[in-house]
Amino acid sequence: MAQGNLGIEPEMLKAIYGQMARIRAVDKAIQAGLSSGKFTFTYWPMTGQECIPATVSQLTTERDYMVTTYRGIHDQVAKGVDLYGMFAEALGREGGLNKGKGGSPHISDPSSGSMVTSAVVGAGPVIANGLAISAKQRGEDRVTIVNFGDGATSIGPVHEAMNLAATWKLPVIFMCQNNQWGEYTPIPEYTASPNFFGRAEALGFRGVQLDGNDPAAFYKGMKEVIDSVRAGNGPVFVEALTYRMGPHAGVGDNYNATKDALAAAKERTPIEKTRALLIDAGISSEDELNAVEAAAKAEVDDAVARALASPVTPASETTVDVFADDTCVPKRGVYPVREAEAELTGETKTMTMAGAIVDAQDVAMAANAEVFLLGEDVGDPHGGTFGTNKGLQTKYGPLRVRNTPISESAIIGAAIGSSIAGMNPIAEIMFCDFMGVCLDQIANHAAKQRYMSGSATHAPMTIRMQVGGAIGGFGAQHSQSLEAWLTHVPGIKVLYPSNPIDAKGMLLSAVNDPDPVVVLESIMLLFTQKAEVPTGDYRIPLGVAKVCREGSDVTLISYGWELHNCLAAAEELAKDGINAEVIDLRSLVPIDYYRVLESVKKTKRAVVVHAAVEFCGLGAEICSTINEELWGQLKAPAIRLGADYAPIAYSREIEMSQVPNTDAIVARVRASMKS
């Protein structure tokens, strides 16, 4: 074939082949290492898909962001991730890109633009949107490319991501590497609609189908797509046709495929085809290509040898990188003393809790252009279903107060991605009950990004969630107290203010915190609580409990709206001569065990009260710590009081009795006093 008929510059074809050769060398080294038993890690082979990232690498730089999946080693190699760091990471070594804490399915390497790698199918696209938001908001010309397989098109968040990206015209490319297999299941067993690129059109943006095994055609198509996205024309969905030659996981051939299908696919594998083309067209000689392949192998051999020499990441690293500050990690027997906020002295203004939340966000947004809000109905005139953002969109505009589709995964993913890029988003999830539809993003991504990346990246974002309960009539799906779902996941801080002053001071600390923070806001308190709230940038340190009522006979430990029931119960108990101390935890993670234990050392009795279901609730954790630490000093074992084990009922009578009320707290304390 004459060079002029190639449809691509010869030098470009050689460059693409050079990247393919590097990917092949890495693939072979991994398969050989696993086969011989030299390596023991799980591998999800990308054999056959090399052309896609090899081509994209010629059209992007390290400034462009990439998100990929566990089957993304080819993407990493072509993106320019350091091979030594990558192999050391796959082997769980100290020298790994992410200190051996994430492994190959969680590589994060901002220096090359490989920002996030997820092992949850279809989780990446919502995060990619956030990276793209940061680029667009900052006026940068970066594009974000998110890689995923055809199998991922079946999961909800991919749909959410596509819809949001189209709505906001984000500079993101949805790179669907259609390798014909969703894990072990082939098309069309898992979908009746295999024209994946057509789904983009259904959502109002452009989709294209390209041959991902043909470098010339793919280069031409991708150049036009990347130029268009970079120019600000909105997202594009690229369906890159290819074939997965290997199994879902492990090494060797794709044993689920028929022999005929595999043989046909082998005829189209891009490396062999491109190599033959380079020789046939007279662009490269056999010797030149051998030299390219030998250089790739030498680079990989050197990386593997050095990676194997790197020490295995030691157990002493266990809690490092959970949070920016290791003292926030709850540890048995270690109870740090954190300094409380100063006494209020400055100017104040009367605010409801809702008003205090608006004020805190106003202060944060005025101080830092990288703070923005997103959520359902957060814009004016509503300013959120409960008015917690009222006036902010009018003041800061629709790009800093972003109304979203009803898409909780897309909301949290966008917050994660933009925060990884360094912004400080505040995402509102109206009703914590809806956490279930975005819990993967919160628990598997926001909470773990710092740890899985060995602090190479982190997600300094805030999530505000409204919590029903104590109002009546909201029913089982709008009234739950689900803080234990969050406190059980390492890596996320959880706050639960009980009054306007704390709501403001803690929210401002959350927005400025280097870690992801969830702030739970009781709907019941939003408008029933009023206080003189400090104006300006007022912050309350996280992990500092507060004694709200001093006492000597028993310590009541609570948070959120149950704190007010505890204060009322304390007044009732006082009539019997029982002098209760009441502690507002305020911050559930980090937790202030120091102040809790100091109080119980004095009173020698403790009752933990929360609106959440008692069984497996936070109260069990706190009681256990008190009983273990103060055994022998207590007059009675620490006990807990939470909601009955039942969904919250619609019947007002049931709801008001199933969740601890003042009478129930008084009765529980009296039981404690008897022992």
74 catalytic per annotation: no
Cα 320 from Cα 334, distance rounded (Å): 15
If we measure between CA atoms, which residue out of 442, 491, 434 comes closest to residue 468?
434
Q: Which is nearer to other proteins, 309 or 406 (CB)?
A: 309
Give the shortest CB-40-to-other proteins separation in angstroms.
Answer: 6
Burial 644-660 (b: 16+ CB within 10 A, else e): beeebbeeeeebeebbb
Enter the tokens of residue 163. 């819809």
Give the shortest CB-38-to-other proteins separation in angstroms. 5
Nearer to other proteins, 117 or 361 (CB): 117
Report in angstroms how near the CB of residue 25 gets to other proteins at its nearest.
13
Q: How far is the CB of 248 from other proteins (least distance, A)?
A: 9
Q: Min. distance of Cβ 33 from other proteins in angstroms? A: 7
* Cα(470)–Cα(141) distance, integer angstroms: 49
Task: Take residue 361 and report the two structure tokens written for it.
Answer: 């966000």
Tell me, by CB under 8 A, how many residues bind other proteins.
Answer: 16
Residue in 478, 488, 564, 610 annotated catalytic: 478
Only one of the segments 46-54, 79-87, 133-141, 243-251 lies at the binding site for other proteins (rule: CB under 8 A); that segment is 243-251
The span of 170-178, 242-250, 347-355, 483-491 binding other proteins (CB under 8 A) equals 242-250
Query: What's the one-letter identity of residue 86?
Result: M
Please pick, from the candidates 94, 183, 253, 299, the single residue that binds other proteins as defined by CB under 8 A: 253
Three-class secondary structure assignment of 568-610: HHHHHHHHCCCCEEEEECCEEECCCHHHHHHHHHHHCCEEEEE
Nearer to other proteins, 248 or 549 (CB): 248
- DSSP string for residues in 127-176: HHHHHHHHHHHTT----EEEEEEGGGGGSHHHHHHHHHHHHHT-SEEEEE
Q: Which is nearer to other proteins, 263 or 656 (CB)?
A: 263
Dig out the tokens for 4 from the structure.
Answer: 């002029």
CB of 308 to other proteins, least distance (A): 11
Q: How far apart are CA 346 and CA 193, in angstroms?
A: 63
Binding mask 26-55 toward other proteins (x if CB under 8 A, else -) reads ------xxxxxxx-x-x-------------
Of the candidates 514, 455, 583, the one whose C-alpha atom is nearest the C-alpha of residue 328 is 514
R_g of the chain, CA atoms, integer Å: 28
Could you tell me which residues come within 8 angstroms of residue 389 by beta carbon, excluding any fewer than 6 positions away? 357, 358, 361, 373, 375, 378, 379, 383, 401, 428
What separation in angstroms does the CA of 580 have from each of 440, 547, 641, 664? 41, 11, 16, 15
Residue 249 binds to other proteins (criterion: CB under 8 A): yes
Q: Contacting other proteins (CB under 8 A), which of 110, 250, 330, 647?
A: 250
Closest contact distance (angstroms) between CB of 143 and other proteins is: 34
Which residues 6+ apart lie within 8 Å of 325 measured at CB?
A: none
Minimum distance, C-beta of residue 312 to other proteins, in the bound complex (Å): 16
* Stretch in the footprint of other proteins (CB under 8 A) among 80-88, 208-216, 247-255, 440-448: 247-255
Q: What are the angstrom distances between the C-alpha of 36 and each of 31, 253, 297, 351?
A: 9, 16, 18, 68
Residues 431-460 that bind other proteins (CB under 8 A): none
Contacts of other proteins in 627-656 (CB under 8 A): none
CA–CA separation, 533 and 507 (whole Å): 13
Residue whose CB is less far from other proteins, 40 or 316: 40
Of residues 261 and 489, the one with the C-beta less far from other proteins:
261
Select from 7, 111, 141, 255 the one that contacts other proteins (CB under 8 A): 255
Contact 174, 212 (CB under 8 A): no
- Minimum CB separation of residue 249 from other proteins in Å reads 5
C-beta of 288: minimal distance to other proteins in Å?
22
Nearer to other proteins, 33 or 130 (CB): 33
Nearer to other proteins by Cβ, of 34 and 126: the residue is: 34
By CB neighbour count within 10 A (0-12 exposed, 13-18 middle, 19+ buried), where does 514 fall? middle
Q: Which two tokens stand for residue 555?
A: 């310590």
Question: Of the candidates 505, 507, 498, 599, which has an alpha carbon nearest to the alpha carbon of residue 547?
Answer: 599
Pairing of strands 371-375, 587-589: unpaired
Of 45 and 48, nearer to other proteins (C-beta) is: 45
Q: Per-residue DSSP letters for 501-533?
A: HHHHHHHHHHHT-SS-EEEEEEHHHHHH-EEEE
User: Given the complex with other proteins, which of 123 and 257 has the nearer CB atom?
Assistant: 257
Nearer of residues 47 and 466 to other proteins, judged by Cβ: 47
| Nearest Cα to Cα of residue 418 among 369, 377, 471, 481 | 369
- The minimum distance between CB 32 and other proteins, in angstroms, equals 6
End-to-end CA distance of the chain: 94
Binding string to other proteins for residues 65 to 94, with x set by CB under 8 A, is what? Answer: ------------------------------
| Residues carrying an active site annotation | 478
Footprint of other proteins on this chain (CB under 8 A)?
32-38, 40, 42, 247, 249-253, 255
